Chains A and B, each alone.
Chain A
Amino acid sequence: KAGVTQTPRYLIKTRGQQVTLSCSPISGHRSVSWYQQTPGQGLQFLFEYFSETQRNKGNFPGRFSGRQFSNSRSEMNVSTLELGDSALYLCASSKNTAGGYGYTFGSGTRLTVV
């Protein structure tokens, strides 16, 4: 079966611009979470969506937002990009939301802000 698909794989943006990243979860998975990986901060939780509702949110500024559609696909948006937003953005999906077990990660979107 198809895994978690993230698009695009690579992206270069200029400071001040905005960006939208997309995540298609595994079929049947209703929970989608987003994580940011940077060399300095490691892997940090951004937010989690389940059945189109945000269930949990990490400690990121309001420039970071997300949404989930009725087909469980999710998008995250970063507005007014800063150099520090350069990171690997990972999406993970799960059939349920119990304990983080069963999360499958996508290959990520590498965002570079110049």
Chain B
Amino acid sequence: DQQVKQNSPSLSVQEGRISILNCDYTNSMFDYFLWYKKYPAEGPTFLISISSIKDKNEDGRFTVFLNKSAKHLSLHIVPSQPGDSAVYFCAASGGAAGNKLTFGGGTRVLVKP
């Protein structure tokens, strides 16, 4: 049972444009959501998070939106840069899951110069 899903395995975007990554979850008890960025042969790097009591969180070029009624969150990267090319994972925690992170399958982003 995949509780966190990223339905787009890949995304290609032109440098300077917006990248939008989507994530859906099924467990309504999740109360914390995070986005991680991962390069090959490295561990995931934390990008941005959002608590379930908020619907938006912004940090520089990164903004995460949470729609609890739809059980959907998205990550916006504006403007996209070539260094953003990586695999992005959304993750959720809370409820019976406690502090363990439940990850989506990842979206590979390619930013073209």
0/1 interface trace, chain B 37-67, chain A, CB 8 Å (1 if under): 0000111111001010000000000000000
Tell whether A100 is near chain B: CB-to-CB under 8 Å.
yes
Binary per-residue interface labels of chain B (61-75) against chain A in the complex, 1 for a CB within 8 Å, 0 otherwise:
000000000000000
Write out the residue numbers on chain A whose beta carbons fall within 8 Å of the beta carbon of B100: 33, 45, 48, 56, 58, 100
Whether the Cβ atoms of A103 and B98 lie closer than 8 Å is: no
Evaluate contact between B101 and A100: CB separation under 8 angstroms. Answer: yes
From B18-26, B78-86, B103-111, the one touching the partner chain is B103-111
Q: A-side binding surface: helix, strand, loop or mixed?
A: strand
A90 at the interface (CB under 8 A from B): yes
The answer to whether A99 and B46 touch across the interface, beta carbons within 8 angstroms, is: no
Task: For residue A27, give the distance in angstroms from its CB to the closest CB of chain B.
Answer: 18
Q: Are A104 and B102 in contact (CB under 8 A)?
A: no
Does A97 touch B at the CB level, under 8 Å? Answer: yes
Number of A-B contacts (CB under 8 A): 71
> Is A92 within 8 A of B43, CB to CB?
yes
- How many chain B residues touch A (CB < 8 A): the figure is 26
Is B98's CB under 8 angstroms from A55's CB?
Answer: yes
Cross-chain contact A99 with B103 (CB below 8 angstroms): no
Q: Does residue A106 face the partner (Cβ distance < 8 Å to B)? A: yes
A100 and B103 form a contact (CB under 8 A): no
Closest to A110 in B: B41
CA distance A105 to B41 in the complex (A): 12
Contacts of B49 in A (CB 8 A): 99-101
Q: Do A101 and B105 form a contact, CB below 8 Å, given A43-B89, A55-B98? A: no
Knowing A100-B34, A100-B93, A101-B32 are in contact, say whether A45-B101 is a contact too (CB < 8 A).
Answer: yes
B41 contacts which of A55, A99, A107 (Cβ < 8 Å)?
A107
Q: B91: nearest residue on chain A (CB-CB)?
A: A100
Q: Nearest residue in B to A99 (C-beta to C-beta)? A: B32
**Quick check: is B7 within 8 A (CB to CB) of the other chain?**
no
**Do A108 and B34 have beta carbons less than 8 Å apart?**
no
Nearest CB of chain A from residue B91's CB, rounded to whole Å: 7
Contact A42 B32, beta carbon cutoff 8 Å: no
- B interface residues (Cβ-Cβ under 8 A, vs A): 31-32, 34, 36, 41-46, 49, 51, 89, 91, 93-94, 97-106
